[in-house]
Structure 1
């Protein structure tokens, strides 16, 4: 099996990256590693912290199994956003913000993934009014029933999500076992729109897709379209902005305005630190 090791990775932790609500196809293993499917590949990632006591738990070596050097350079390096200086981002966000200081301290190893656009659209349409375990279950069922094999790891076959052409060919009855509920219509209509017009290239085209409201659009913009000033607001974000920044919980427009004024182009990074923080605080 191919294996690639990235030495001395900083500002990184697998649980912070894969358990902060931005992706749904990575599963923690008994040894602390994560196995997942993305970009039509299956890999296992393990992060080994440095031996020196002075080194933080967010500095260490990243071991990627089922991965060649070419795969790392072309797929996983950009996917994990490893070229970005997250230390500088954290310093900027926490300079004059005590709340953000607490949030960043909680999620020191977060990095925003650069995910496949179609997979992100499907995932966040499914995510509406849903909890993370159920979202993961729906995506896994959809992939196993209608996707193509992405590869094998540890004796298990993993599947990619079905593409827009495949999804558009299905009926609501076909998708009933996936248990998507009202989201079934959204996915089928969106798949047909993408087949007719292609994948969206900007926020206007994205928002025209069936089932894509402001929150879902902002998630897609942030996690797959590199629009890092996006500030998705769900019930968790409304809670943290209300409790810690004093903005009325129903004033989503006011929250977005605050994010634009205080976080600017780093709004998406701020959102991820705050989202992870409030969920960890309420566990």
Structure 2
């Protein structure tokens, strides 16, 4: 018998903004888009799959975790979606640091930072270099289909999308050849993915050790992986290790911050240091809102 887990009147949550802000890539929207305020997604996370629906509620949103029993929600999805964190306090800190962001923070109040798998986040952001989000998602799906463990029938029946496999484990990727990895259409990133997988598999890069390190030290450690620069390292720190003081700066974030806070061309490292000082332990959350602010006001658009 199918069991759904339902949450009612959830505030500070919008599934579209959470998933489609560029922090994760193993998901697919499955609704028709016909009904305003209703969204459906398939999500693959570690060894679980989820079909989730969001509907308007009297005070917030209603979340329906399809085919999900209480134990699965409590042990997996509750933490994954960061549902125990008070985001109203985070938003207050951001607005206090920069009142110009108040309108965006309120308009996009449903943004959250997911608690993702470290290894998948590392590989996904290596893939992300010089790629748009749809391309990243396709390569992640290709890599999973080529090298990951296939779903059993109970998992397939949960989904409305064409996903068929979990993201490869550390061992599966470390033992794969570069040619097997390249079959995912990851291009020049294949040796970088291979190096990252081998370093994690051997223990040279350890999630447990990274969690114990200061942020700057952890960043430098991640950058010992071939193909991992500061931007990718900061994305991994923020989205894969929960370092919410991290502030990834890509070309768009550079333009946005130069427009708002600087007078002309400014090195990325200076922007990062400024943002971490200005926003403190909510810098990573602020980065999400600044990106949307830049999009809405067409900052840096050519």
CA distance in 2, matches of 1:106, 1:237: 20
2:51 match: 44
CA distance in 2, matches of 1:247, 1:112: 30
SS of equivalent to 2:55: strand
Distance 1:96 1:250, change over 3 A: closer
Q: Does 1:180 align with 2:190?
A: no
1:193 match: 199
CA distance in 2, matches of 1:224, 1:22: 9
- Contact kept? 1:37, 1:158, Cα under 8 Å: no
Distance 1:271 1:176, change over 3 A: same
SS of equivalent to 1:178: coil
Within a 5 Å distance, the mapping from 1:21-40 to structure 2 comes to 21-31=22-32, 32-40=39-47
- Contact kept? 1:27, 1:35, Cα under 8 Å: yes
Within a 5 Å distance, the mapping from 1:42-81 to structure 2 comes to 42-51=49-58, 55=59, 59-81=60-82
> Relative to structure 2, which stretch is displaced further, 203-212 or 32-41?
203-212
1:118 match: 119
1:281 positional shift = 4.8
CA distance in 1, matches of 2:136, 2:43: 15
CA distance in 2, matches of 1:18, 1:138: 17
- Contact kept? 2:101, 2:293, Cα under 8 Å: no
Q: TM-score, normalised by structure 2?
A: 0.85
Q: Does 1:206 align with 2:207?
A: no
CA distance in 2, matches of 1:147, 1:276: 33
- Contact kept? 2:46, 2:167, Cα under 8 Å: no
CA distance in 2, matches of 1:68, 1:257: 44
Within a 5 Å distance, the mapping from 1:210-221 to structure 2 comes to 210-221=226-237
- Contact kept? 1:26, 1:37, Cα under 8 Å: yes
CA distance in 2, matches of 1:111, 1:196: 33
259, 272, 275: which one pairs with 2:291? 275
1:127 match: 128
Aligned residues: CA RMSD: 1.9
CA distance in 2, matches of 1:183, 1:280: 32
Q: Does 1:170 align with 2:186?
A: no
1:250 positional shift = 4.2
1:7 positional shift = 2.1
- Contact kept? 2:141, 2:163, Cα under 8 Å: no
CA distance in 2, matches of 1:27, 1:106: 24
203, 222, 235: which one pairs with 2:238? 222
Q: Using CA pairs below 8 Å that are at least 6 residues apart, which structure has the higher relative contact order?
A: 1
SS of equivalent to 1:210: coil
- Contact kept? 2:80, 2:116, Cα under 8 Å: yes
Distance 1:247 1:75, change over 3 A: farther
CA distance in 1, matches of 2:297, 2:69: 38
Distance 1:274 1:106, change over 3 A: farther
